[in-house]
Structure 1
Amino acid sequence: MTSGTSRLTRLLVMVPYFLANPGVSAAEAARDLGTTPKQVMDDLNQLWMCGLPGYSPGDLIDLSFTEDSVEVTFSAGIDRPLKLTAAEAAPLLVALRSLIDASGVVDAAAARRAIAKIENAMGTPIGEAVTETPTAESDPAESPAVIAVRDAVRRRHAVRLRYYSASRDEVTDRVVDPIRIQAVDGRGYLEGWCRSSGGIRLFRFDRIDEASVLEEVARPPATGESDQTLALFESDPTLPQAVIQIDPEVIWVLDYYLIEPVDPDGIAGSDQPVLATMTYGSTEWLTRFVLGFGGKIKVLNADEMAADIEARAAATLAMYS
């Protein structure tokens, strides 16, 4: 899609979007529309010049907006969202089904309703495999902790967690400023600023024993909210996966990155290296990641990459000899 076509499509969906979300900020709209706050403001100024034939003040789209709030006062008839094409609907349906499968990430009933609405809007199902929708009876019962976490993210409030750490085999109490919820490989995670650790952490839903929403507003550092480091690990079947061996001395890495042990039950109290898998975004990133652990983490399934890591490590040591 060309930039001009992309902008036209965005302009056509903006009026229905702001009608459905009165008072939303430019930053929030940019996140939802897949663009920047500056582009949203530019588009709003462009919409001011659009409207019905005659193009007098009473015919043009009328908006009241600042960077903090946007409201539509006259839509000029552009008040219905664009109809999805089959090519657009199919990935949405697949994504919604994946979110339902990743227990706790979304309200499963709401996701099923969204699937039904998309199918009804299209008129006919888009392929049996894509549109087969789980029933309410097939949904596992959600834990109160997961429901509380979703509520905290929605309200943007801090949340107190009682969380099991697999790497340390202990349960800890933490206060977390939520940033977002992620679905990775069929599991749900809360990404947030952990006040105890002083950094961004990922909390797996099935390891949250208890959660309570606090009255205070969540205030993750600005750098934390914009940090996309963890986005490298979002579920993507096109990304490569490394098999790694983790030394017991750095087993805490399991609490920092989306690394899946081959035998999760064999971690606690073990003094043996842990075999695990890890999805990564680029060879360069994984190389830097492994080098940062000084030989405590090894790549087992990529001989060429392992050789490159060894060569870089040797070159670094040579600089100090």
Structure 2
Amino acid sequence: MTGSSERLVRLLNMVPYLRANPGVSYDQAAADLGVSRNQLAKDLAQLTFCGLPGGAGGDLIDICYDDDGLAIDVLDSQGMDHPLRLTSTEAATLLLALRALADVPGLVDPAATRSALAKVEAAAGGVPPEGHPPAGAQESAAVAAVRAAVRDRCALSIEYYSASRDALGSRVVDPIRVTLIDNQSYLEAWSREADGVRLFRFDRIQAAVMLDEPSAPPEPAVAAETDTGLFNADPALPSATLRIAPDSAWMLEYYPMRLLAENADGSLDAAMTYASEAWMSRLLLGFGSAVTVLEPAALAEQVRAAAAEALRAYDLTD
């Protein structure tokens, strides 16, 4: 569990704990909650900004505690010490959100998601949609290993398919976090091979093994926000500018591309890096007239020549 998740769970538990122990001292509360006195003070300050929508004085949790730490009292819990009651609309919305979250690999524990879904469905008096598979049931061994490595802060050995290089490679990484970008989940990690932060798409991680050593990414890499500029790939690699027909716009979700322009006819101009001109030519041939190479000229000529050769071969066998 990440630090932010741990704190969320602790904050959710603090209000009923403090309600059940009115006047508890800082030292006793810190010991019972398993945190330092300094962290407890930070958590109490955070709780005073939590509550119901609106954010006005009467909408927020009200906690009374003095500077000498002798006593802590909850004056207004905003209902956080009572069981949650959902309307049918809220329950349906929550179920949809849980199922959507469960469909994205690596973000959540499938067992926890199934348990939460079952509880909400039971409370709402409903049943899972007919034919809908259990949430998270299809998690692969690789995805489970990545989640475990992030949770336990362990180094990871992965087999990863690079679409731009059309190659499967092995590397050892130090996981930082799991992140969601454009409805795709990625492992953000420090690549020891590249000596830098890289993003690894979950559906391209073919295998993963958690190593018996701690994950040790540089602190600045951990503190920094996710850099989506990593999608621009290696600047040392050649780049092609492509014009993609509207019906093939899905390419931008599957291949590492950068959108350059949206044209009036619905077509898209995008840049894509590649390591092998021969591989890139084969890839583009498969899309036929749906993708046009705008530049470089050498790649466009190679694609045209390969297409002409294929047509000649077809004529000979016809």
TM-score, L = length of structure 1: 0.49
Q: Which has the larger radius of gyration?
A: 2
TM-score, L = length of structure 2: 0.50
